[in-house]
Structure 1
Amino acid sequence: MKPHYLTPLFSPRNVAVIGASDTPGSVGQAVFANLLAGNFQGKLYPVNLNHRIVGGIAATPSVRLIEGPIDLAVVTTALRGLPAIVKDCGKKGVKAILLAKDFSDSEDVERAAMDEARSLARHYGIRILGPNVLGLMRPVAGFNASNYNSRVKAGNLALVSQSSALCTAMLDWADSKGIGFSSVVSVGEALDVEFGEILDYLIADNFTQGILLHVHHVHDSRRFMSALRAAARTKPVVVVKSGRYEDDVIGVTHSSNMVESGDVFDAALSRAGVLRVATIAQLFTAAKVLAANYRVTGKRLAIVTNGIGPGVLAADSAYMYGVELAKLSAASLDLLNESLPRNWSGSNPVDIIGDASPVRFRTAVKVCLDDPNVDGVLVIFTPQAGTDHLTTAQLMVGLQRESNKPLFLSWLGDAKVSESRELFSKSKCAHFRAPEFAIEVFRNLASYHQNQQLLLQTPGPLEGERLVPDVLSARAVIATAQAEGRSILSERESKAVLAAFNIPVNPTRLAASEDEAVRYAAEIGYPVVLKIDSPDIIYKSDVGGVELNISNEATLRDAYRGIIGRTLQARPEAKIVGISVQPMRKRRFARELMVGVTHDASFGPVITFGAGGIAVEVMQDRALSLPPVNHYLVERMIDKTRIGKILGPFKNMPGIDLEALKNIVLHVSELVCELPEVREMDINPLMADESGVVALDARIIVQPQPQGKPYGHMAIMPYPVHIVHCAMLKDGTTVMIRPVRPEDAQMQQEFVRNLSEESRYNRYMSSIKQLSQSMLVRFTQLDYDREMALAMVRQTDDGEEQLAVARYITDPDNESCEFALEVADSWQGKGIGVTLMQALFDAAREQGLKTMVGEVLAGNKGMLKLMARLGFVVTTHPEDRALTIVTKDLQGEAPVKSLQ
């Protein structure tokens, strides 16, 4: 791929400092001095209207007067003059501007100047970082365009912070701990360049092995999530967020009232496969542990100690942090009974008695590491009579090298064990002065593992045997309400939308009179439920608008009049449409649940699940997930709730139909994906028992949405089901063209194995026999926002067979993409290449891409002929004569509808 478009910002060769100065205390002096002192290998040009020399270097009054090209302009002058500076930079050909100057929101002149400057920058193709930034540092390259006045050590961590003040605090803390950085980026107000773009650059940066983020708020959640997920696939990412409670989710339904923006942010980070921490200290500790490649596969911890007191306190800390104490297997207990003194603790924590020798420590720790029920071991050493701290430490270092499970070491004391701590540091072992710090890190590692599992989930709107929803019917209901100027759907309308997405609902009949209600009740069969029907009343129980278990006509008439009277008294201004009549569902073993949807200002729709009924807000028992979800994600939501613990067999109650419940949440996810107009939704109560699940009450809030890209309302791009279609090959074979799914891994592997050696070499330029596990994951775990892989498959008696696959991955500029095409040898010459590539063109155009580029071996005449037929421009590779470059302009052509 071509260099990242932010390369002029991060790796400039020629830098102009506009406002460079010798005036002590000025931003221009601080930035220019740091650039001079940092051994920057490129050329520096001071720009100053009043001085001909700055820092001993000849200055110019304008960037346009500098001889030679300029990659980056660092602006340290007042922002009122920014439009003129941007115009000069544009005419000079500058590609990036760093605003190292603060501004005040109260200064309307500066705000207007920045808006004008942003417009000019877009015209000239200039990218702007800032304002309100500390600056930009690349310690690995000696580049320091900031006003930070302390040293920053070079290292392999990238730090990206939204706050300049917090960034300086983190740098000061890191320096005291000897932590170095590949890059330090202060985002500031993000007038132009945002988190997502910076993350995109750091993904491909070879100097960066881990990424630390401080986030206050996110502007473009789709780009942020896409870049964050891409980064987390290749490098550890640790995030600390400020302002957790500043922007609560605001809405009218129970789902919205139960959700805070911080909870939504947590759910988003979980899906991105990153680790969220609460403090700066945790940020760097977690980063160091992750960068050292410590990993866990669960949260079961064993504690080995020669002091029962510290061991019990550590166990208490584990309970507080939600870490599970491992239950040692019978085989492990037998080994420990044979090896340890008779008075050892007999369980976890494993107290091996105060006079434990180094060998006794090693034996106990080795047994715990080998136990399949243990995911990590914490060793607590207390210096006592008969102990040898250094030899014990040496044995622990050796054990860590032998095991793939993490070993956390806590040598209590100070001077007596200092030599052991030095050994741990030199050996890069995870060691802590206090056991609770080690337990906290273990908890974070376990969370990171869980989040990495969530990262692998790329669900479609619905998985498995898909019941096709009646989307048009649901949209018609919503359109009718919006045409009447209503944003709140009635219960009947809400249930009609749910039913269109195959969600079982309690049937509802609307009665406009008392007699009509009696007739409907007779048709439905007693007992029945009466509810007020009003677009102005969200919570019917609040106005006495519900009567349950009505068993005869006389009771129904009294109930009807009572509901009308109470409603008019409580809400005289409310419009009453009528009274809904529903069957009274009596389920002896039912649990009342709730599934809802709320809307977050940054991340869009959020699905909630938890306990339902009238005490839903008091119980506050709920779990969140960003849609789309799949079975794995739904199971995790259910497991997080208290109500989830009693959905199985409980005392005399049989377990509910859990599969039916999961399908309800999956259908809600599909509804959210396909109906961007749905702003909020409550299904409460959702009654679940051993015979199934049914929605007894529902309410949907809608809001008009502008037309845009499919699924543009979501933070995570779901499986693009809208581009799945059937086609027919020249020989009459019916095939399906669809995006590749994670479940296609085995089919993809079989496809590659069956290719001829020549075909595999032409595609992969190597003699591989099959894809490695990492390549297989890379080719099937897709982020459809930035890449696409279309598989052509046919149905056989043994399932699906892949005939071909075409894929592209976008450049960071989101304007061009690189493509690849593979066709099974036995299906060559049947029009597959043309059919599949034309479908790929459609997908690329929909994403707004302008150019498609690929490399073909010069000797692959068949592929070159196909590319020419498809309208690619064929040119010789400028550096490798064995390769040919093929390029296609995707703009100005109508999407291909005919696939023949």
Structure 2
Amino acid sequence: MTGHILQPMFNPRGVAIFGASERKGAVGTMVLANLVDAGFKGAIVPVNPKYTQVQGLPCVPDLLHLDQPVDLAVIATPSVSVPGILRQCGMAGVKSAVILSAGFGEGGEADRSDGKRLMRESLELAQQFGMRLMGPNCLGLMRPSIGLNATFSHNQAFPGKLALVSQSGALVTAVLDWAQSRGVGFSAIASTGDAADLDFGDLLDYLALDTQTTGILLYIEGIKDARHFLSGLRAAARMKPVIVLKSARHAAGSKAAATHTGALIGADDVFDAALTRAGVVRVERITQWFSAAQILASSLSLRGDQLLILTNGGGPGVMATDRAADLNVPLAKLSDGTVTALNAALPATWSHGNPMDIIGDATAERYDTALRLSLADPGVDMIIVMLTPQAMTDPTACAQAVIDVVNSQTGYKKPVLACWMGEKLVNEARDMFDAANIPQFRSPETAVEALSYLLAHRRNRQVLMQTPGPALAEKYPDVAGARMILAAARSAGRKVLTTRESKAILNAFHIPTTQTILARDADEAMLAAESLGFPVALKISAPTLTHKTDVGGVRLNVRSVQTTRQQAQEMLDRVRAQHPEAQIEGITVERMAEVGHARELLLGVTRDPVFGPVIAFGMGGIAVEVLRDRALALPPLNGLLIDRLIAQTHAARMLGPFRDEPAVDRKSLDQILMRVSELVCELPEVAGIDINPLLAGEFSVVAVDARIELTERMPIQDPYAHLAIHPYPASFQREIVLDNGQVIKVRPIRPEDAEIEQCFVRGLSEETRYFRFMRMLNELTPEMLVRFTQIDYDREMAFIALYTPEDGEAVEVGVTRYSLEPDGESAEFALVVADEWHGRGLGSHLLEMLIDYARQRGVRYLFGDVLLQNEPMRQLAARTGFSEQVLESDKDAIRISRRL
């Protein structure tokens, strides 16, 4: 695979600073000084026509006659000059730029149009020359390991393994100041600013594969492209922990919604649901963010979740225990053997459990013994060691004992965190822990919280690894019929469907509903009730009246013809009198649902302006806004995601048996949730759904009332553009017949294919593996296996070919894949076929299928690097329309490419 497009930005051979000067306090002056002070070993080129020398370095007026390699330009000049500078950089072959300048439309009305014009020109030039831009209006970029500090911050960062990406430059400076005092280092620091070009998605995509980065911190104020953001976030979180701090949790701009579902959901709730789906961890306070930074910087890993709290004070132990309970961090149970050993070594008054209180006069030797025995207990996965500076305790000696025990661990090292409480008496101990790279915290609560972030990451990976659900289940819905109903409503000038239309849409997706008849007047209502059978429900039919109960438009358990006529007439008269402006179609008559010991639930969909459709589930009925019991998830869903969605609600406790109530039909409930997920995936014109109540009982689950609202505009051509997460493309499964008549199934890869993918690679000959990976490789590393099987269907695709013998299970016999480049138009591909299947036409079938899919996804250029001696691949590429070109960077390989 070729290097990442952001490699020149994060690892430049040379840096040009436009606006470099000697003027005190100028941004260009600080950037140049920072770059020199950080010890950047590449070329440093000040660019300013006013100087011939700046800060002791030769200064050039432009880059047109440059004789040094420059990959990164840092621009600290007025905004009006930026387009010209970018043109100059493009002509000089510079592939990346950091625009520190402001003045691109972020100010008042007077300069907004000119600023936007300048930004538009800058982006067009960047695209013309294949250049990527960070900013504008940003703090800059750091890569401490190579001495790259292209910022105007007053801080220098230590090298480390933690990456920081922030929309706020001010927050970056605060983090750097904190990190310097703690000795925390960074692999990369990026301030995105206005993110006109590079945004979170691009940077996360790079950091996901960056070998220097083991953990990522994000500070987010807003998201522009949800699909791109989640795509990069999911890619990064598959490889390493990601901790997010987001501001504006209570956005004043959140508008009240007309539906029950919309009334329950705020923008921050949706953001939480998106982060959960991405497998990352969110913190709410900057202090928690710092705690997360410290734990990530230590590169700790967890193999279990059982926590032991070791302390010399009972109170702090209880505090830690309480916080662990708050955060669902389970406490370890000491084995009998460990307890016996501790009894022999500790005072008789020790706590004999967890928290392990080794008494206030604990010595360094006592800490040593207790910690060693605890680490040896197989039931203990992680430990927080705490100390309060009591009269008989030496905090420094105890800290050294803890450090010695931690460093003596061999093989896998269980995480150990320190919490030395106090100030003056424990400052030296804290410095010792920092120097030993042992995370240390000032309070029991923050120590437990820090470990909870690692645990949350471990748990969230289970969600992250879920395939984003098939677009269609085995029993296909009538999508075409549903679209005709929606089109008819839109043609009639309506955005809100009637109850009957809404239920028809649900029925098209096999969601059970109560049978409904529309009656124009009280007499028709009487006839409809007699036809359906009693008891019935009467509901006003008026699309503009959202909440029928609030206007007196619902009557339940009507049990006779006479009562039906009377109730229907009263309802019509009352609603017409109170709402003369409403267009009333009549009354819907429904047979009362009989599901057996019913629970009233809410199932809804709303459209978030950033993340698109969001599914809500919780307790329903008329008090839904008062109860406010709901959980959210982004579609598409699958079984595990549905289980987690339901488990987050109070309603989950009512679904099982309690008192004399039997359990609800959970299988039917799960199926309906899956069908609603299908509906919103396949019908992008649906803006909102309200199913309230959804009656769930022991015999069945049925949608009693439904309301569907349409989007303002017709959706664009891409059928899944409205989704933040691309669904599993089940429709691209194929059966192909090889030249010898064998039938092969080809389908998109799934995460659960990891085992057969590994077996496939192991079964390849040494030569075939070398041809595919261009290096000696016996099997896929865990990281490679994750990358190859847990793919993002929006920007990559992998088709695997499966052969199922008559007497065995399916085996993988070939795979082809592509990965979209950050330019969004070109993609790198690869293909490999099992040795024993060579010469049967399988490679041609796979490559043609990949080309067809890539073309449909808007890929314009497909390329791949092939070893010169890989003659079979070169011949296949030639037959399929690929051309060859020599690679200057690698004399042993060529690049094959094709315009699609």
TM-score, normalization by structure 2: 0.90
* SS of residue in 1 equivalent to 2:605: strand
Unaligned runs of 5+ in 1: 892-900
* SS of residue in 2 equivalent to 1:257: helix
**Residue 716 (structure 2) pairs with residue 672 (structure 1):** no
Deviation at 1:301, TM superposition (A): 3.3
Q: Taking structure 1 as reference, are residues 296 and 608 closer, same or farther at Cα in structure 2, changes over 3 Å only?
A: farther
**Superposition pairs for residues 214-613 of structure 1, below 5 Å?**
214-246=219-251, 247-248=253-254, 251-296=257-302, 300-326=306-332, 344-345=350-351, 347-355=353-361, 375-382=381-388, 393=399, 396-397=402-403, 400=406, 401=409, 404-414=413-423, 420-461=429-470, 466-613=474-621
Q: Deviations over 1:792-812 (max 9, x none)?
A: 234555554433222222333
Distance 1:121 1:451 in 2: 37
**Residue 158 (structure 2) pairs with residue 153 (structure 1):** yes
Distance 1:730 1:838 in 2: 15
Distance 1:346 1:590 in 2: 49
Distance 2:884 2:570 in 1: 80
- Is the CA contact (8 Å cut-off) linking 2:73 and 2:97 kept in structure 1? yes
Q: Deviations over 1:195-245 (max 9, x none)?
A: 222223333444433322211111112111111222222233222111222
**Residue 797 (structure 2) pairs with residue 783 (structure 1):** no
Distance 2:185 2:846 in 1: 48
- Relative to structure 2, which stretch is displaced further, 77-86 or 172-181? 77-86
Deviation at 1:443, TM superposition (A): 2.0
Q: Deviations over 1:728-754 (max 9, x none)?
A: 333444433210112223333444455
- Is the CA contact (8 Å cut-off) linking 1:34 and 1:144 kept in structure 2? yes
**Residue 647 (structure 2) pairs with residue 639 (structure 1):** yes
Deviation at 1:431, TM superposition (A): 2.8
The match for 1:716 is 725
Q: Taking structure 1 as reference, are residues 398 and 488 closer, same or farther at Cα in structure 2, changes over 3 Å only?
A: farther
* SS of residue in 2 equivalent to 1:560: helix
Amino acid of the structure 2 residue aligned with 1:831:
G
Deviation at 1:557, TM superposition (A): 0.6
Distance 2:94 2:773 in 1: 38
- Is the CA contact (8 Å cut-off) linking 1:299 and 1:443 kept in structure 2? no
The match for 2:24 is 24
Deviation at 1:361, TM superposition (A): 5.3
- Relative to structure 2, which stretch is displaced further, 288-297 or 598-607? 288-297
TM-score, normalization by structure 1: 0.90
Deviation at 1:165, TM superposition (A): 2.1
Q: Taking structure 1 as reference, are residues 172 and 770 closer, same or farther at Cα in structure 2, changes over 3 Å only?
A: closer
Q: Deviations over 1:660-707 (max 9, x none)?
A: 222222222222221211221122111112223211112122213442
Distance 2:776 2:156 in 1: 49
- Is the CA contact (8 Å cut-off) linking 2:43 and 2:69 kept in structure 1? no
* SS of residue in 2 equivalent to 1:564: helix
* SS of residue in 1 equivalent to 2:290: helix
Deviation at 1:189, TM superposition (A): 1.2
Amino acid of the structure 2 residue aligned with 1:460:
G
Amino acid of the structure 1 residue aligned with 2:726:
M
Deviation at 1:546, TM superposition (A): 0.8
* SS of residue in 2 equivalent to 1:97: strand
- Is the CA contact (8 Å cut-off) linking 2:40 and 2:148 kept in structure 1? yes
Deviation at 1:655, TM superposition (A): 1.7
Unaligned runs of 5+ in 2: none
Deviation at 1:814, TM superposition (A): 3.4
Distance 1:176 1:645 in 2: 48
The match for 2:75 is 75
Distance 1:553 1:69 in 2: 90
The match for 2:107 is 105
Q: Taking structure 1 as reference, are residues 120 and 808 closer, same or farther at Cα in structure 2, changes over 3 Å only?
A: closer
The match for 1:898 is none
- Is the CA contact (8 Å cut-off) linking 2:601 and 2:620 kept in structure 1? yes
Deviation at 1:527, TM superposition (A): 0.3
- Is the CA contact (8 Å cut-off) linking 2:866 and 2:896 kept in structure 1? no
- Relative to structure 2, which stretch is displaced further, 666-675 or 850-859? 850-859
- Is the CA contact (8 Å cut-off) linking 1:462 and 1:630 kept in structure 2? no
Q: Taking structure 1 as reference, are residues 641 and 548 closer, same or farther at Cα in structure 2, changes over 3 Å only?
A: same
- Is the CA contact (8 Å cut-off) linking 2:49 and 2:60 kept in structure 1? yes
Q: Deviations over 1:96-127 (max 9, x none)?
A: 33322223521233343333433444344443
The match for 1:897 is none
Deviation at 1:840, TM superposition (A): 0.7
* SS of residue in 1 equivalent to 2:137: coil
Q: Taking structure 1 as reference, are residues 339 and 140 closer, same or farther at Cα in structure 2, changes over 3 Å only?
A: closer
* SS of residue in 2 equivalent to 1:685: strand
Deviation at 1:322, TM superposition (A): 4.7
The match for 1:828 is 838
- Is the CA contact (8 Å cut-off) linking 2:884 and 2:897 kept in structure 1? no
Amino acid of the structure 2 residue aligned with 1:277:
V
* SS of residue in 1 equivalent to 2:696: strand
Q: Deviations over 1:563-611 (max 9, x none)?
A: 2122212321111122111111244522211121122222111111111
- Is the CA contact (8 Å cut-off) linking 1:18 and 1:75 kept in structure 2? yes
Distance 1:663 1:627 in 2: 14
Amino acid of the structure 2 residue aligned with 1:258:
L
Distance 2:770 2:676 in 1: 45
The match for 1:728 is 737
Q: Taking structure 1 as reference, are residues 781 and 36 closer, same or farther at Cα in structure 2, changes over 3 Å only?
A: closer
The match for 2:218 is 213
Deviation at 1:352, TM superposition (A): 4.2
Q: Deviations over 1:411-452 (max 9, x none)?
A: 345565566545533433233232122111122222121222
Q: Deviations over 1:31-51 (max 9, x none)?
A: 344344444334444444555
**Superposition pairs for residues 692-711 of structure 1, below 5 Å?**
692-703=700-711, 704-711=713-720
Deviation at 1:849, TM superposition (A): 2.5
Deviation at 1:405, TM superposition (A): 3.9
- Relative to structure 2, which stretch is displaced further, 768-777 or 477-486? 768-777
Distance 2:299 2:578 in 1: 63
* SS of residue in 1 equivalent to 2:101: coil
Distance 1:35 1:415 in 2: 37
* SS of residue in 2 equivalent to 1:228: helix
Amino acid of the structure 2 residue aligned with 1:848:
G
Q: Taking structure 1 as reference, are residues 592 and 8 closer, same or farther at Cα in structure 2, changes over 3 Å only?
A: same
Q: Taking structure 1 as reference, are residues 17 and 834 closer, same or farther at Cα in structure 2, changes over 3 Å only?
A: same
Distance 2:598 2:613 in 1: 29
Q: Taking structure 1 as reference, are residues 538 and 296 closer, same or farther at Cα in structure 2, changes over 3 Å only?
A: farther
- Is the CA contact (8 Å cut-off) linking 2:163 and 2:187 kept in structure 1? yes
Amino acid of the structure 2 residue aligned with 1:99:
I
* SS of residue in 1 equivalent to 2:625: helix
Q: Taking structure 1 as reference, are residues 53 and 616 closer, same or farther at Cα in structure 2, changes over 3 Å only?
A: same
Amino acid of the structure 2 residue aligned with 1:234:
M
- Relative to structure 2, which stretch is displaced further, 677-686 or 239-248? 239-248
Distance 1:184 1:73 in 2: 17
Distance 1:119 1:17 in 2: 22
- Is the CA contact (8 Å cut-off) linking 1:627 and 1:669 kept in structure 2? yes
The match for 2:132 is 127
Deviation at 1:467, TM superposition (A): 2.0
Identity of aligned residues (%): 46
- Is the CA contact (8 Å cut-off) linking 2:351 and 2:358 kept in structure 1? yes
Q: 1:660 aligns with which of 655, 664, 668?
A: 668
Distance 1:325 1:469 in 2: 47
**Residue 627 (structure 2) pairs with residue 626 (structure 1):** no
**Residue 139 (structure 2) pairs with residue 114 (structure 1):** no
The match for 1:818 is 828
Q: Taking structure 1 as reference, are residues 779 and 141 closer, same or farther at Cα in structure 2, changes over 3 Å only?
A: closer
